[in-house]
Amino acid sequence: MSHSISRRAALVAGAALPMAAGLGLPRIARAQQAEGMEMELPTHRVFMLGDVKVTDLLAGSRVVPDPHSIFGLNVDDEIFAQVSDEHFIPSDKARFFFNPVLIEAGGEVILVDTGTDPAGITAALEAAGKQPSDVTHVVLTHMHGDHIGGLMTEAGEKTFANAAHHAGRVEFDYWAGQENEGFESKVRPLEGELNFLAEGDQVGPLTTMEAFGHTPGHLVFTVAGGESDLLLMGDLANHYVWSVGQPDWHVSFDVDKEMAVETRRRVLSMAAENRMPVMGYHMPFPGLGYVSAEGEGFRWMPHTYQLML
């Protein structure tokens, strides 16, 4: 998604809670509601995928109005309202989540996507016991502002000074020709050091899959480490009802909407057939769940304790 949040709305870390049963119990952060009120939200959640430690980071969250102007552009208001009501969610507002993922394996600390700004991702990392300097690799699914926003500070310095940076070549080339302010300030300064990724390339336990459509070079990643690979689906599907449940619905942020539909169906079918755990950048935090085929679409099933056994 290309929406951004203000620095003031970035998460602020709270007091640490203990570790238990291999699960990092989350610290509490505060996020602004649309009306200006604050509510408490967790900042991180730890899962184990075999020997691989997976930490989902909540780098930001906010309420947005009129989600039908974003999702389901090819269906009418009545259908959108009906589907929303059937899933016990309102059709006039939604909560967005921004969930970068930290993968730790073999001494490598790999951050996948960076949130909307340095403050949000730094706060979430610190709540999880990490500093930006601990990150050894930064990997981008794509270059919308809410994924690249944490790359560079306002002073133009790298947030992750010790990290190798990885991104898709197709994605970079597209944005390099768009005169996009976010790309020019956050990604262009890294051009000389970017490691470009394509189908099948690996970064630690991550393997690259091309999943074009949301953006021309959008990537997803599988993470090997347990009985089943974990799928990091980025923005392949941006909502558990209006995208996973309705894969044919057009999304305003998808650059090529028909290609996005085709890719969404292909990758979600793979996840369902292989019963893979799936991490979604915009799924309700902590963003981890499973996908099953249901009717003409799919069903999102949030993780409960499957990776805690």
Mark residue 112 as left, alpha or beta (left: phi above 0; alpha: psi -120 to 50; beta: remaining): beta
Predicted pLDDT at 273: 97
Angle at 154 between CA 150 and CA 157, to 5 degrees: 75
Predicted pLDDT at 39: 67
Summarised one tens digit per residue, pLDDT across range 188-202 is 999 999 999 999 999
Q: How confident is the model at residue 139 (pLDDT cuts 50, 70, 90)?
A: very high
Tell me how far apart the alpha carbons of residues 288 and 284 are, in angstroms, rounded to a whole number: 8
Summarised one tens digit per residue, pLDDT across range 85-95 is 999 999 999 99
Q: What is the chain's mean pLDDT, rounded?
A: 90
How many angstroms separate the Cα of 308 from the Cα of each of 49, 74, 294?
9, 40, 26
Q: How confident is the model at residue 265 (pLDDT cuts 50, 70, 90)?
A: very high
Tell me how far apart the alpha carbons of residues 131 and 126 are, in angstroms, rounded to a whole number: 6
* Three-state secondary structure call for residue 202: strand
The residue-averaged pLDDT of 55-80 equals 97
Amino acid at 305: Y
Q: How confident is the model at residue 38 (pLDDT cuts 50, 70, 90)?
A: low
Summarised one tens digit per residue, pLDDT across range 204-243 is 999 999 999 999 999 999 999 978 899 999 999 999 999 9
Predicted pLDDT at 41: 87
